[in-house]
């Protein structure tokens, strides 16, 4: 099949940028991921997993090409007012399914030309380094905030790819850079972006708000305005200013997700969670992680008006919610909040929640 017909089909499906590269290994990325996991900048990934993600032929035998796409999710501020608590990608329909579905049309086209062609679609959770593939395929260039930027279109894009046995002439990487700009490095509140092109995962609010379990103490004060994901290093980017609104987008007909206030998130039932967030890309993580973040947000805001909600949360049936509510009550530091902590201390059986309560009563915020 001609590369142009395949690319045209994908543009017709609404992708903003499409490119093709070879299925050669990503040796630089393999080394970078190893080095960063060793240095503690990224979560530890197993040797096999890194190999698979950086050697496409291990995911698809006989792979020759990678077709990479970027899908735009920018919406105009008038019809889609921003809610800074939620990263933009989480306020619209889960991109994983939408991108996969659109890529299937290209897979069908490839197979209709040659029934022996094999394909593997990768969107985020697949075995590929999505940004590196997009970069090598000329879909966009690396910003210093690590995001892939499509020239004149910015970085509000998610990425997808097809690894295939079909052979195409590869496109060339783009010759574009950030030049002298450093705006994203200055905008990152936690200094997770302490040097260009490197995100320290354990300081990144995007990682922290999506991780399960206990939130490290060091990050909690930074969560006063952030409930899920983080867009600050992209908001600051000059490439994301003054964008056109009439470009093909992933969600032309969707309404934005409207979240209740944070206390409403803390008290949301499972049914309400399902009804409100069932289509969002954050749904998979479950209600508890979102509510844990909401509880921490109230503490980080030192919102004494939220004491009642937190006193209820410290009696929640989930220990992780009780533990984080203890931290937040400690931040309020009022007579009522201290009383609630003491009352719970007397009956708390979960060791981690008890540790949080003791720390909150002692006013110990050390990491």
Question: Shortest gap between Cβ of 55 and ligand SF4 (angstroms)?
Answer: 28
- Contact residues for ligand SF4 (CB under 6 A)? 143-145, 178, 181-184, 187-188, 190, 192-193, 199, 204-206, 230, 232-233, 236-239
Q: Which residue has the tokens 């400690």?
A: 330
Residue 148: strand pairing partners: 142
- Nearer residue to ligand B12 within complex by CB, 37 or 358: 37
Minimum CB distance to ligand B12 smaller for 68 or for 331: 68
| Partner whose footprint covers residue 184, from ligand B12, ligand SF4, none (CB < 5 to 8 Å by kind) | ligand SF4
Structure tokens at 345: 């201390």
Q: What angle do CA 296, 240, 283 make, to 5 degrees?
A: 40
Q: Which does 308 bind (CB under 5 to 8 A by kind): ligand B12, ligand SF4, none?
A: none
Single out the residue of 60, 106, 158, 174 in contact with ligand B12 (rule: CB under 6 A): 158
- Is residue 201 a contact residue for ligand B12 (CB under 6 A)? yes
Name the residue with tokens 């300081």: 203
Q: For residues 293 and 331, which CB has a smaller minimum distance to ligand B12 in the complex?
A: 293
The distance of closest approach from Cβ of residue 95 to ligand B12 in the complex, given in angstroms and rounded to an integer, is 7
Cα 228 from chain centre: 8
Question: What is the nearest approach in angstroms of ligand B12 to the Cβ of residue 107?
Answer: 17
199 makes contact with ligand B12 (CB under 6 A)? yes
Stretch that binds ligand B12, among 17-25, 198-206, 313-321, 345-353 (CB under 6 A): 198-206
4 flagged as catalytic: no
Number of H helices, E strands in the chain: 16, 6
3-state helix, strand, coil in the chain (%, to 5): 45, 10, 45
Query: Which range, of 76-84, 122-130, 212-220, 246-254, touches ligand B12 by CB under 6 A?
Result: 122-130
> Is 214 one of the binding residues for ligand B12 (CB under 6 A)?
no
* Residue 29 interaction partner, one of ligand SF4, ligand B12, none, beta carbon < 5-8 Å per kind: ligand B12
Taking the alpha carbons at both ends of the chain, their separation in whole angstroms is: 58
Token digits of residue 290: 């979102």
Ranges of beta strands (E only) in the chain are 17-22, 65-72, 119-122, 141-142, 148-149, 157-164
Residues 6+ apart with CB under 8 A from 283: 94, 274, 277
Residue closer to ligand B12 (CB basis): 140 or 330: 140
Catalytic residue among 124, 225, 254, 343: 124
Distance between CA 136 and CA 332 in Å, rounded? 50
- Of 219 and 354, the one with the shorter C-beta distance to ligand B12 is 219
User: Counting contacts by CB under 6 A, is residue 130 touching ligand B12?
Assistant: yes
The smaller minimum CB distance to ligand B12, of residues 231 and 263, is found at 231
| SS3 state of residue 37 | helix
Q: Of the candidates 300, 318, 319, 308, which has an alpha carbon nearest to the alpha carbon of residue 357?
A: 319
CA distance 15 to 4: 14
Is residue 13 within 8 A of residue 105, CB to CB? The reply is: yes
Cα–Cα nearest to 16, from 183, 333, 339, 243: 243
Answer yes or no whether residue 123 interacts with ligand B12 by CB under 6 A. yes
Residues at the site binding ligand B12, with contacts judged by CB under 6 A: 29, 32-33, 36, 42, 87, 89, 123-124, 128-132, 142, 145-148, 155, 157-159, 197-199, 201, 204, 206-207, 210, 229-231, 233
User: Which residues are the active-site residues?
Assistant: 124
């Amino acid at each position: 099949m001609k590369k142009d017909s395949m690319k045209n089909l994908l543009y017709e499906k609404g992708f903003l940028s499409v490119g093709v590269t070879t299925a050669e290994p990503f040796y630089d990325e393999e080394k970078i991921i190893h080095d960063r996991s060793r240095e503690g900048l990224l979560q530890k990934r197993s040797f096999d997993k890194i190999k698979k993600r950086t050697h496409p032929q291990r995911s698809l035998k006989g792979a020759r090409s990678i077709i990479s796409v970027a899908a735009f999710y920018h919406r105009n501020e008038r019809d889609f007012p921003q809610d800074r608590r939620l990263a933009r990608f989480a306020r619209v329909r889960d991109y994983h399914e939408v991108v996969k579905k659109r890529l299937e049309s290209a897979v069908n086209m490839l197979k209709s030309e040659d029934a022996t062609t094999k394909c593997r679609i990768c969107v985020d959770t697949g075995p590929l380094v999505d940004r590196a593939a997009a970069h090598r395929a000329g879909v966009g260039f690396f910003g210093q905030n690590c995001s892939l930027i499509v020239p004149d279109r910015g970085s509000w894009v998610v990425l997808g790819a097809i690894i295939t046995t079909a052979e195409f002439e590869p496109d060339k990487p783009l010759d574009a850079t950030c030049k002298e700009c450093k705006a994203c490095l200055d905008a990152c509140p936690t200094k997770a972006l302490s040097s260009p092109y490197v995100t320290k995962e354990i300081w990144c609010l995007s990682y922290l708000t999506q991780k399960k379990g206990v939130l490290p103490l060091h990050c909690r004060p930074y969560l006063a305005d952030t409930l899920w994901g983080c867009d600050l290093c992209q908001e600051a980017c000059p490439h994301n200013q003054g964008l056109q609104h009439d470009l093909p987008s992933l969600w032309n007909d969707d309404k934005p997700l409207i979240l209740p206030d944070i206390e409403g998130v803390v008290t949301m039932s499972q049914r309400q969670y399902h009804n409100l967030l069932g289509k969002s890309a954050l749904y998979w993580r479950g209600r508890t992680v979102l509510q844990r973040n909401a509880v921490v947000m109230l503490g980080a805001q030192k919102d004494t008006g939220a004491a009642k909600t937190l006193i209820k949360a410290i009696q929640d049936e989930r220990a992780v919610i009780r533990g984080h509510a203890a931290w937040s009550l400690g931040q309020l530091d009022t007579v009522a909040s201290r009383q609630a902590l003491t009352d719970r201390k007397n009956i708390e059986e979960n060791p981690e929640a008890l540790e949080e309560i003791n720390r909150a009563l002692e006013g110990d915020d050390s990491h």
